[in-house]
Structures are given as C-alpha cells and as structure tokens.
C-alpha cells in the first residue's frame, strides 16, 4: 500500500471571498463520517461542496479527494469551471489526470459514475475524502463501493460529503439513512448527519434572483413541496404521488369486524416480501402485516409465510407465476417446494401483468372526489410504507414502475399481485374477527 507523505505545516494566512449561510456553516462544521446536505433546489449546495473541498486541501497538505457526479460533462459545467473561476489562484487543472492540483500536494480528482460498470473502476482505490454531488442519482450499490474507498494511512479526516435533492434512483437509500434514520445491522447512526438546505437559506440567491424563488413558489402543489420545501415523500418522477400516509394508513381500531384473509408474496433470494391482507364486505382491502427478509431458500421462505399466516384463516397465497416453472437443478417447481411446507396456505399463480396491475393499485389508492381510499395499510408494515412512495416511473414506459432501485420493488410487487387476485369479499353471514395482537407484525 502506497504511503502518503507527511503533512506539511498548515496554511493559515489565506483568505477566500464569500460568506456562508448558517446552514452552510453547519455543513462545514460537521464531523460525521457521512454528511448529506440538501433537500430543496437553490440551497447553495454546489458552492458549499466546492468551498469545503478547497478548505480541506488547504488545511491538510497532501490530502487526496474525489469529486463524483453522474457524468463528466456535468462535472465540467457544474464544478470545474466554477472551481477555476472561484479558486483559480490556488490551484491548477490537469486535463490528463482529470484533477485539480494544489502546490501543497493536495488534489481533487474528478470522477463520474453513470452505471454499476462505471463504479467498479473505483474498487481498490483509496481516498481521504469523497464528495458525491447529486447523490440521489446513484444506486445504493454504487454508494457502497465508494464507501469502501474511504480509507488510507495518512493523518487526514475520512469523510464523505453528499449533496442531494428528493427523487432519482438513489432517493430511497438517501432517505432511509439521512432523513428517516432507519439503520441496518453494521450501520452506526452517529456516522450519518443530514443538514437540510432550502432556497430561503441561500440569501445570496434570494437577493440576486428573486424571480427564481417566485418560480418555485408558483409550481403545482406536490412539485412545490419537493423543490421548494425539500419534502422527501413527494418528488419528481414519483410513480405513486397519490400515496399519502395521512390518508392511507389505518389503526387496528379502524379495522372492521368482518374480514376475509388472503396473502401475497414476491419471492427472490435477494428478498422475500409477503403481505397478509384482509378484505371487508364492501371490497375495501387492509394490509395487516408484512414479512420482508433476504437470503431465504424456497422452503425457508414458505416456513416464514406459514408463520405469518398462522393466526388467521387465510384463504390462499397468491404468488408470481414463475414459481410454477420447473427448476433445472431439482426438477421441481418453486410452487411444489413451497406448497409442501406444513402450514403453507394454498398457493395460486398471480395475474402478473404490470401496467394493468399498477392501474388497479392506483384505483385502490384514489381519493378523487373526496371518496375514501379502498386500500389502507397498518403502520407496522414499514417496508411497504417506505417502498410504495419511493417507486419511480420507468423512463421508457411512463405507465410502468421502474425496476430500479430493485431493493424497493418487492413489497409493491406483492401488493400488485394481491390486488390483481381479486379476492371476493366475505358474505354477510361470515364473521372472521381480526386479531388485535401485533405479534405477527413486521419482522
């Protein structure tokens, strides 16, 4: 491993023009390992990111930084030219190295990452500081590769700075880590800090271009909420903008006494998503519980689903039709393997047509004309509640949901299978009482 040179004495006599806002000062002062700055448009994120990187390069001679954006063309227009205009007296640009160079030996490399193939070029690389501009344009897989590059042997800070707006392929993981703060095993909450930025915080912009602020204020309601106020539950490209936790969540006390139960699952080794549902005599559907778990074999998945359904008289479980295909390794289908597990309710192949299925789901969510939605979800179904509003529109087929990021598609797919199964509602003389216990709630 290449050793870094010993840091030179700190430069203290240099002054750079420009006064940061209070939010930008928070961004500069943060000592978290991963710092996300953003939320709304016009918050001064790009200027703050450049200022922080230059400050680090001046404060720590020999430090090695990486600035990443989706394409190199975006880097040039959004950062290279402003770097040279704002800090040209302090640095030089090497086109052959695609880097900004400081006399002290510090450097800022420019990198791009538009695909998973692009990010693999960074495996094994070491950087003291990594800055990802527009982080919501990167998948969580790409983010994980860059995290692994944040290492070295010099006595430098190891930090990753991210700027972000709601929306994009990375919306779900940025929101999970920095906004919702829902951490997985191995993720240290103290490593992550989110600093919200609004256009109103950027007094330089509000004074110099008040028309820009007025243009944001005049946007349609949901777009204004995302772009002006930085709301992470509404954003450009959202597939189900009608989903609203204030409308579509239910409490146990809201559940009718008469329900017929059924379940739906989307199986993959990367994730099993299973939902337990109930339908009332009026055809309203309630999602009562969920099970979302990774790395399960077919038989293990069936045992988990059987456990989810154990306390309820489940009529059937609807699942993706590909489970009925015979497997080359065993000669048995996934259906045969799962159905043979004791306690597994009868399985039925789903109507898995995508666009018709999403249309049906949209109808169940609809509140047009002030009507009550026909679909409601218990708050314990965390994964479905997180994933449904995070689905993006397919850029090539606007009526279909995008398959990326893949991690958020499983629970909505299971819900689509459930609604397309068209389970008939119970007749008046059937009484199936909902359990008030939450022991089968989300795992």
Q: At what angle do helices 22-29 and 45-59 cross, to 10 degrees?
A: 40
Task: Say if residues 181 and 156 touch (Cβ distance below 8 Å).
Answer: no
Over its length of 443 residues, how does the chain's per-residue pLDDT go in tens digits?
A: 444 444 444 444 556 667 888 899 999 999 999 999 988 877 789 999 999 999 999 999 999 999 999 998 999 999 999 999 989 989 999 999 999 999 999 999 999 998 888 999 998 899 999 999 999 999 999 999 999 999 988 889 999 999 998 888 899 899 999 999 999 889 999 999 999 988 888 777 788 788 888 888 887 777 788 778 888 888 878 899 899 999 999 998 889 989 999 999 999 888 999 999 999 999 999 999 999 999 999 999 999 999 999 999 999 999 999 999 987 667 799 999 999 999 999 999 999 999 999 999 999 999 988 899 999 999 999 999 999 999 999 988 989 999 988 889 999 999 999 999 877 777 765 545 454 444 444 44
Report how far residue 180's alpha carbon sits from residue 120's, in angstroms, rounded to the nearest whole number. Answer: 29
Bridge pairing between strands 107-112 and 347-349: unpaired
**8 closest CA partner among 86, 106, 99:** 106
Report how far residue 405's alpha carbon sits from residue 316's, in angstroms, rounded to the nearest whole number. Answer: 29
Per-state percent for the chain, helix, strand, coil, to nearest 5: 35, 20, 45
Q: Which two tokens stand for residue 43?
A: 């918050």
Q: Where are the alpha helices (DSSP H) in 158-220?
A: 171-174, 203-208, 210-217
Name the helix (H) or strand (E) containing 163: strand 159-164
User: Position of tokens 């047009």?
Assistant: 368
Report how far residue 407's alpha carbon sits from residue 270's, in angstroms, rounded to the nearest whole number. Answer: 9
pLDDT, position 443: 42
Question: For residue 405, what is the DSSP state?
Answer: S
Report how far residue 130's alpha carbon sits from residue 45's, in angstroms, rounded to the nearest whole number. Answer: 15
Task: Say if residues 11 and 62 touch (Cβ distance below 8 Å).
Answer: no
pLDDT, position 428: 61
Cα-based distances in Å from 239 to 279, 390, 405: 25, 8, 13
Report how far residue 221's alpha carbon sits from residue 291's, in angstroms, rounded to the nearest whole number. Answer: 34
Cα-based distances in Å from 320 to 250, 267, 334, 411: 27, 8, 10, 13
pLDDT, position 55: 94
E strands of 198-341, at which residues? 260-268, 271-279, 285-293, 314-319
Bridge pairing between strands 91-94 and 99-102: antiparallel
Report how far residue 361's alpha carbon sits from residue 384's, in angstroms, rounded to the nearest whole number. Answer: 13
Query: What residue ranges define each of the domains in the chain, with the CATH number in brackets?
Result: 22-227 (3.40.50.300), 245-421 (3.30.420.280)
């Amino acid at each position: 491993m290449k050793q870094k040179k010993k840091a030179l004495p700190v430069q203290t006599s240099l002054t750079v023009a420009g006064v940061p806002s209070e939010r930008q000062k928070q961004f500069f002062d943060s000592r978290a390992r991963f710092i996300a700055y953003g939320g709304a448009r016009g918050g001064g994120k790009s200027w703050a990111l450049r200022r922080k990187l230059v400050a680090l390069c001046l404060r720590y001679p020999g430090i090695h930084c990486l600035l990443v954006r989706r394409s190199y063309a975006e880097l040039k227009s959004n950062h290279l030219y402003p770097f040279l205009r704002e800090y040209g007296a302090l640095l030089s640009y090497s086109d052959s190295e695609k880097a900004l160079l400081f006399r002290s030996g510090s450097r800022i490399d420019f990198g791009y990452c538009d695909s998973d193939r692009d990010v693999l070029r960074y495996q094994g690389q070491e950087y003291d500081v990594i800055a990802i501009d527009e982080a919501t344009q990167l998948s969580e897989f790409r983010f994980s590769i860059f995290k692994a590059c944040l290492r070295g042997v010099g006595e430098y800070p190891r930090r990753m700075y991210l700027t972000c707006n709601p929306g994009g392929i990375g919306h779900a993981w940025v929101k999970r880590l920095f906004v919702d703060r829902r951490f997985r095993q191995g993720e240290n909450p103290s490593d992550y800090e989110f600093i919200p930025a609004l256009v109103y915080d950027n007094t330089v912009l509000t004074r110099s271009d008040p028309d820009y602020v007025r243009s944001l204020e005049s946007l349609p309601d949901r777009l204004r909420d995302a772009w002006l106020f930085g709301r992470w539950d509404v954003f450009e490209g959202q597939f189900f903008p009608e989903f609203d936790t204030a409308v579509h969540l239910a409490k146990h006390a809201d559940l009718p006494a008469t329900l017929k139960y059924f379940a739906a699952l989307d199986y993959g080794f990367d994730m099993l998503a299973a939902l337990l549902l109930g339908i009332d005599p009026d055809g309203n559907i309630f999602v009562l519980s969920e099970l979302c778990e990774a790395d399960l074999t077919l038989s293990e998945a069936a045992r988990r689903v059987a456990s989810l359904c154990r306390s309820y008289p489940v009529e059937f479980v609807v699942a993706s039709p590909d489970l009925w295909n015979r497997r080359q390794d065993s000669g048995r289908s996934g259906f045969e393997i799962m159905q043979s597990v004791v306690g597994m309710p009868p399985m039925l192949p789903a109507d898995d047509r995508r666009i018709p299925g999403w249309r049906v789901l949209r109808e169940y969510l609809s509140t047009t004309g002030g009507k009550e939605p026909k679909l409601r979800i218990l708050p314990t179904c965390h994964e479905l509640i997180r994933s449904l509003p995070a689905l993006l529109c397919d850029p090539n087929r606007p009526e279909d949901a995008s398959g990326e990021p893949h991690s958020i598609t499983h629970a909505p797919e299971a819900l689509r299978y459930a609604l397309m199964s068209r389970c008939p509602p119970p007749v008046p003389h059937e009484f199936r009482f909902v359990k008030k216990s939450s022991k089968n709630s989300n795992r």
